[in-house]
Structure 1
Amino acid sequence: MKHTYRSKTAFVLAWVWLAFVAFNVWDLIVRFNGKPSLIALAVLGVLTALVYAVALRPATVFTEEALVGRNPLRTTVLPWASVEDVTVSHAITVRHGEERALRLWTPMSSARERAKAQRRGTPTQRRGRFQAEPTLSRGEQAAMEAFAGKTHADWVGDQIRERSESARRRGQDAAPARVSWAYDSIGVLVAALALVVVAAVIP
């Protein structure tokens, strides 16, 4: 089963931007007035290409066989058994063969999110006879304990470790990572560059 993890905030904001761009492109086409409209289209094209590459494309994907890291310009497919170490700070870094490292673009943990997680992991002291907070079920309590002091990035890092250990126990081969260019991002960036050239050339 495939699981995809990404920055929800960046993903939502990117789609809001695309809706904004769609409206403006329609308006520029309807009210086309030559070079100023072309320049505006070129600017929107460049910004949209950057938004796609940085906010929409990046994702961390779990498949049955491998960890797939989709970064802005490259895609890395790393078999689970090849994962040697996982560290989580601002981003998740996965180390594999010959001291190589895969830095995942998402999910990331901001300083604010980490501070919030630390506060969540600190037990609160309750005083008095009456408790205003509702009593949690066993499942809710277990979930709180599992996430105590952890950000989403920490949790995903733990899942990567567990899957890599499980793959080694099953005897999966530690094959080298496969890295390929992100042709979708490159195509979008080339199209944006073409718009810039057209806007610069046409008088």
Structure 2
Amino acid sequence: MSSSPTPAENTYADRVFRSSAGMGGGVLLLALVAWIAGDALVRGEGRTPWIALAGALLVVPVVVAFTMRPAVFANDDRLRVRNPFRTITLPWADVADVRASFSSEVFTQDGKKVQLWAVPVSLRQRKRVSRRQMQRAHDDPHGRTSVNADVSDKARLAPADQTVADLREMAERNASRPEAQGQMQVRWAYELLAPTLAGLVLLIVLLAV
């Protein structure tokens, strides 16, 4: 199942990039967890309902962290990367490069690497775009420019590669702004880590007793 980052642009707000496929998968997984836990609570006997609750307390934050939480926020001052359990804020002046190989990554001026979970790279989409380009070259071997060339420019890149190109362009354009100066800041998502750890401990205790 491929994932396509979908940007939402607003003149005054951040540009937001998420994986639509990741969010859809997260909703399905949460529905499955709710069904299993609910069935155990209604029909389970003995410790089964408690084990189901502990399991849900462990699994739900993990599902949310890896599917629905990841996002990339970009404005003229900084890049904010919300990964499963961390949020990294990078002023544009501290961004050395944005790349996409087998994953999308941001590199800081001092060589640190931050992975963009919200911008997954799909090799299938890259192959599809490559086949489209080869077909276009075959149909027009002389490279004549059509009236729709500007419209089709974005079709020359896979969605993740287009997102990375957009972020790289924003970094180059805004790095010199006074408001874009500073160093990387990291915040841990304790609101997800705490219930995950609590659910793990509770599940271990219930299974051990």
| TM-score normalized with structure 1 length | 0.81
Task: Give ranges in structure 2 of 5+ residues lacking alignment.
Answer: 1-12, 141-145
Which amino acid is 2:60 matched to? Answer: T
Task: Give ranges in structure 1 of 5+ residues lacking alignment.
Answer: 128-135
User: After the TM superposition, which of the residue ranges 59-68 and 73-82 deviates more from structure 2?
Assistant: 59-68
Show the counterpart of 2:171. 164
Q: What CA distance in whole angstroms lies between the structure 1 residues aligned with 2:115 and 2:55? A: 30
Selected match of 1:68 from 80, 90, 103 = 80
Matched, 1:181 2:188: yes
Report the alpha carbon displacement of residue 169 of structure 1 after superposing the two structures with TM. 4.6
User: After the TM superposition, which of the residue ranges 175-184 and 28-37 deviates more from structure 2?
Assistant: 28-37
Report the alpha carbon displacement of residue 198 of structure 1 after superposing the two structures with TM. 5.1
Deviations 1:43-79 (A, max 9, x none): 3443333212211211112234211111112110001
SS of the residue corresponding to residue 99 of structure 1 reads coil
Does the CA contact (< 8 Å) of 1:10 and 1:56 recur in 2?
yes
Report the alpha carbon displacement of residue 173 of structure 1 after superposing the two structures with TM. 4.4
Show the counterpart of 2:40. 28
Selected match of 2:150 from 142, 162, 168 = 142
Which amino acid is 1:95 matched to? Answer: F
Change (3 A) 1:125 1:97: closer
Does the CA contact (< 8 Å) of 2:66 and 2:84 recur in 1?
yes
Show the counterpart of 1:90. 102
SS of the residue corresponding to residue 6 of structure 1 reads strand
Deviations 1:106-141 (A, max 9, x none): 2111221221121123216459xxxxxxxx974xx4
Q: What CA distance in whole angstroms lies between the structure 1 residues aligned with 2:199 and 2:129? A: 40
Show the counterpart of 1:107. 119
SS of the residue corresponding to residue 84 of structure 1 reads strand
Q: What CA distance in whole angstroms lies between the structure 1 residues aligned with 2:167 and 2:23? A: 22
Does the CA contact (< 8 Å) of 2:40 and 2:48 recur in 1?
no
SS of the residue corresponding to residue 90 of structure 1 reads coil
Matched, 1:10 2:22: yes
Report the alpha carbon displacement of residue 181 of structure 1 after superposing the two structures with TM. 0.7
User: After the TM superposition, which of the residue ranges 173-182 and 39-48 deviates more from structure 2?
Assistant: 39-48
Deviations 1:143-189 (A, max 9, x none): 322330x2221111111111112213544443101111112221331
